[in-house]
Chains A and B, each alone.
Chain A
Amino acid sequence: GEDVEQSLFLSVREGDSSVINCTYTDSSSTYLYWYKQEPGAGLQLLTYIFSNMDMKQDQRLTVLLNKKDKHLSLRIADTQTGDSAIYFCAEDTGTASKLTFGTGTRLQVTL
């Protein structure tokens, strides 16, 4: 099947690191993506990683990919209140432009 699974909720304190996890099922995926959705807005692309890579860093964001376990994670360093949002991981199908999105993880940042 094409299930992409995420935990529903994560709460962290401002300044701490956040780690959002995702498991996917399609081993033929070429790219994997992280999107952010703020309240009342559409999904915004944060970053993506090519399936041949195991890590990608972009400022405060670090993406880790374990292809053997089909596990993807997004680490946000020095988490800020503005990072509070729902985070979605997504995989492509390898041969088409369709993406399969996870269920989303709501990140709550507390003071």
Chain B
Amino acid sequence: DAGVIQSPRHEVTEMGQEVTLRCKPISGHNSLFWYRQTMMRGLELLIYFNNNVPIDDSGMPEDRFSAKMPNASFSTLKIQPSEPRDSAVYFCASSLARTSSSYEQYFGPGTRLTVT
């Protein structure tokens, strides 16, 4: 398996523009997570899905952020409009959640977003 795939790997955009980050989870995994990592705040969970349904979006900073998972093999994280404080590395991770088993997550390489 190719692992979790994220695109683009780097994104530079101007303040006010729309940014869309993409993620393809590992085939067969049923949970998907979006994280944001910065020096100041560390690793933050933004939202996660189980079986394509959003379960907890309490980490989404504000209404400018939205996430979708239209099917089991694709998810997007959109920021509209973007602001300089959104600059961070955004990670997608997936896992196979099974009762009475471990929930190890597998991370993608991340998208480094710079908003100028």
Contact = CB atoms under 8 A, between A and B. Distances in A.
B42 interface: yes
Nearest to B56: A98
Interface stretch (A37-45, A57-65, A66-74, A76-84): A37-45
A33 interface: yes
Interface stretch (B13-21, B70-78, B80-88, B105-113): B105-113
Contacts of B105: 43, 45, 97, 99
B99 to A, nearest CB: 10
B43 interface: yes
Interface of B: 4, 31, 33, 42-43, 45, 48, 50, 55-56, 91, 93, 95, 97, 102-110
Interface of A: 30-31, 33, 35, 41-45, 48, 50, 88, 92, 96-99, 101, 103-104
B43 A42 contact: no
A92 B103 contact: yes
Given A88-B43, A101-B43, A33 B104 contact: yes
Secondary structure class of chain B's binding surface, majority of residues: strand
Q: Summarize A's interface: helix, strand, loop or mixed.
A: strand
A96 B55 contact: yes
B64 to A, nearest CB: 23
Nearest to A42: B107
Nearest to B99: A95
A45 B104 contact: yes
B33 to A, nearest CB: 8
